[in-house]
Amino acid sequence: MPRDLPDWTYDRRRELGDRIRDLRIRANLTQEVFAEMTGIDRRTVQRIERGTSDPPYSSLLLIAQALDVRVSTLVD
């Protein structure tokens, strides 16, 4: 059953996606290469970067490792 979340949670999810996309682009990685590096499906990477998906903590760990940053860098 879906639950309604406060609006600010959607804003933070978009901020997270923007941060991940910016770091990926700075690392000169395409979404395809990034998806291969993380083991996350490319469509899922797209949804995370658009802020339409809530990545689980395990995905954040994989993303942080691929971008050579701490998880806190992603979510701060």
Q: What is the pLDDT of residues 14-24, one digit of tens each?
A: 999 999 999 99
Evaluate the CA torsion angle 28, 22, 31, 37 in order and state its sign.
positive
pTM (predicted TM-score) = 0.91
Residue 4 banded pLDDT, cuts 50, 70, 90? confident
Count of structural domains within the chain? 1
Which structural domain range is residue 50 located in?
7-75
Residue 1 banded pLDDT, cuts 50, 70, 90? very low
Evaluate the CA torsion angle 50, 55, 59, 65 in order and state its sign.
positive
Residue 26 inside a domain? The answer is: yes
Q: What is the pLDDT of residues 42-67, one digit of tens each?
A: 999 999 999 999 999 999 999 999 99
Domain with residue 14: its CATH number is 1.10.260.40
Residue 67 inside a domain? The answer is: yes
Residue 37 inside a domain? The answer is: yes
